[in-house]
A and B are shown apart, each in its own frame.
Chain A
Amino acid sequence: MNTGELIWTEDPPFPENAKRAVDNSQLRRNVRNATATIRQRRAGLVAETPDWQELRKAGAAIKDDVLHHLDAYLEEFERNAANRRATVHWARDAAEASQTITDLIKKTGETEVIKVKSMVTQEIGLVDALQNAGINAHETDLAELIVQLAHDRPSHIVVPALHRNRAEIRRIFLDHMADAPRDLTDDPHALAEAARLHLRRLFLRTKVAISGANFAIAETGGLLVAESEGNGRMCLTLPETLISVVGIEKLIPTFSDLEVFLQLLPRSATGERMNPYNSVWTGVTPGDGPQAVHIVLLDNGRTRALADATGRQALRCIRCAACLNVCPVYERTGGHAYGATYPGPIGAILTPLLVGVEHAPQLPFASSLCGACYEVCPVEIDIPTVLVKLRHDAVNAHRHRAEDAAFATAASAMSGRRRWSAALKAARLMRFVRHGAPPPLHRWTRTRDLPDPPGEPFREWWRKR
């Protein structure tokens, strides 16, 4: 299976990437400021929503129902979309999806396409695949544009350029956007205006657009994209041909289920009561909007994740990134350290579930298991439990001799009263290495002292009482 860009770097692994990120003062500040802002806005809105916990439960239940009957909902969706003159394509993996889309664009004779912000196209590495086929894909979401111009990668699911500040964005525009005004300042309005003028020209001349979708409605065959700028809606309405890539887990049964998700998503994602733009389209509407509508339904590891009884809840995810914004690890490393399209807590479980934990064995360990992600997740994904389960799978997939031996020794010392008492005596030796221990404990003593071991362990005291 060619999973595209689900993982884009396996080497070096998370701990080393994270070390570099932690040492990058500007990145630290950018990510801290941005996540803190969204986090506070979200918290305020959740506090004013009295039935928030019920909404979360409803969201989880709807998604679980979809995952339970995925085959039936997919067929229902395909039937209804086809009835409305959309063409539905199926793709097993990233390579198949990219090939299908390339072929569709080639048939139009166009070599330029515009894109709506979408994670799934990042996941399948679509822009590069199109480039190799001689097709230029232009990102139209402001943050995606910044990332694309800088030959960078998104570092966040909702706010792809969150790792950049205004001064950096100004520089990127001046260096890489040919039509940027030479006297551009780092005033947010000036930056947005420069991007707006640049993008307008694209919207007016481009005949093919590519999007993802936040929701696919089985009952109607319709798709929904939620966004903040309106650039997405330009892409969804102006071109002649619209091609949407949709992960098979994006389904919801009925239109009225949106009632739940359109409350959960904006509050969780951007800290807004409503997305500024919710665009819904159902196949082709004669004389209005794109007259050729294609939908590529993508697996790319989703059925593999579905087979994992503990892990399948990750497929409920609506990509709101609330878990990233509250994650103390993400806040200090940003998204690139994860080396994968989906960063943060959800990425730490979703990536291994999609590609197989043997291909991403460090990701489930990129968490202190603090549980903040589970607490905010609008569809109640128990990320810590899935992390622990995947750690278990990772250990079994990748035996690590020294670590196996350490845990076997510990388990054996804990297997009986006499052995444990002997181990407690040995622990007293710790006092010699409190300020500088040999590997692997040197990773502890680099920044922390070890405890001063007591004269006698608790059980000695108890026995003598």
Chain B
Amino acid sequence: MMHGMRVALFATCLIDALYPDAGKATVHLLERLDQPVEFPLEQTCCGQMHANSGYFQPSLVRRYIDTFTDYDAIVTPSASCAGAIRHQHAMIARAAQDDALAAAAQQTAGKTYELSQFLIDVLHTDDVGAYFPHRVTYHPTCHSLRMLQLGDRPLRLLKKVRGIDLVDLPNDQECCGFGGTFSIKNPDVSAAMLADKMESVIETGAEVLCAGDRSCLMHIGGGLERIRAGVKTLHLAEILASTDGETAH
């Protein structure tokens, strides 16, 4: 793909509602890289939370398609939403016996990119010119790791950030225990998984825990805040958008 393409931001319902900073950072970052981005206001939610709870919502699939079908590419700062769009939308349409919707879903899904995918695979850059002089550890969320198979893309981007002190997270590939409504339906197992994740995070001595999913960070961050661990959670976009003058920390 080339410059001059029309790119839309799918901010996700969670970032729109509760974490606007991650959305703003995505916009700033892309604009700094000379990639204009639009935010179509008809967007709401990809339907992942519903689907993973057993409630398939073809209407949200349709809304996503209608909102974004005219764009060349859709970028979203969420690996799990990108995963849901790529791996669940067509399935939800098929479960509703709507083959036309399934075909359209596959099309839109094909041009939906998680942020690090978009930067590396579409914009072909792993150095976004960021500056972030803090000790950071990165948690590869399950959906970025195993559903989207992002590999080392986020880490490649982080490693190029100037001033960063990037430290490995022990047992990084283990789930944090969020799992959407799993965290409410099985709160005790979720809390036990969270405890181990927090222990790993604290062990690194990092000031900032970074991930590509605000949802998992809401869970881990909510736990870290509860115990006053003194570790902040930031979305990957927020670190990549930071510059010498303008830092997220």
Contacts and interface: CB of A to CB of B under 8 A. Distances in A.
Interface of A: 14-15, 18-19, 22-23, 28, 328-329, 332-333, 364-372, 374-375, 384-385, 388-389, 391-396, 403, 407, 410-411, 413-417, 420, 423-424, 427, 430, 435, 440-441, 443-444, 446-451, 453-454, 456-459, 461-463
A371 B51 contact: no
Contacts of B23: 458, 461-462
Interface residues of B, number: 66
A370 B179 contact: yes
Given A15-B185, A415-B59, A388 B88 contact: yes
B54 A394 contact: yes
A392 B193 contact: no
Contacts of B219: 448
A369 B182 contact: yes
B54 A453 contact: no
A315 B222 CA distance: 40
A416 B62 CA distance: 12
A453 B18 contact: yes
B218 interface: yes
23 contacts: A19-B188, A22-B188, A22-B189, A332-B193, A368-B175, A368-B179, A368-B182, A372-B142, A384-B147, A392-B51, A395-B53, A410-B49, A411-B60, A413-B44, A423-B17, A447-B191, A448-B225, A449-B222, A454-B19, A454-B20, A454-B21, A458-B23, A458-B24
Chain B interface main SS type: helix
Interface string B198-228: 0000000000000000000011011101100
Contacts of B120: none
A430 B174 CA distance: 29
B69 interface: no
Given A371-B142, A414-B63, A447-B187, A332 B192 contact: yes
B180 interface: yes
A441 B20 contact: no
Given A22-B192, A368-B190, A392-B95, A441 B184 contact: yes
A462 B193 CA distance: 36
B178 A368 contact: yes
Given A370-B146, A420-B44, A444 B186 contact: no
A444 B95 contact: no
Interface string B124-144: 000000000000000000110
B20 A333 contact: no
A416 B44 CA distance: 8
Nearest to B181: A365
A444 B184 contact: yes
Contact of A18 (B16, B24, B175, B188): B188
A450 B14 CA distance: 13
Q: Which 3 A-B pairs have the closest CB atoms?
A: A368-B179, A448-B222, A391-B54
A98 B225 CA distance: 56
A410 B52 CA distance: 14
Given A368-B179, A371-B147, A394-B54, 4 more contacts: A370-B179, A444-B222, A447-B223, A453-B18
Contacts of A461: 20, 23-24
A364 B181 CA distance: 12
B91 interface: yes
A333 B194 contact: no
B51 A388 contact: yes
A403 B54 CA distance: 11
B51 to A, nearest CB: 6
Contacts of A448: 183, 191, 194, 219, 222-223, 225-226
Given A424-B16, A451-B19, A458-B20, A365 B183 contact: no
Contacts of B178: 368
Given A407-B55, A457-B20, A365 B142 contact: no
B42 interface: yes
B15 interface: yes
B249 interface: no
A393 B51 CA distance: 11
B20 A451 contact: no
Contact of B179 (A367, A414, A427, A454): A367
B193 A368 contact: yes
B187 A444 contact: yes
A370 B173 CA distance: 10
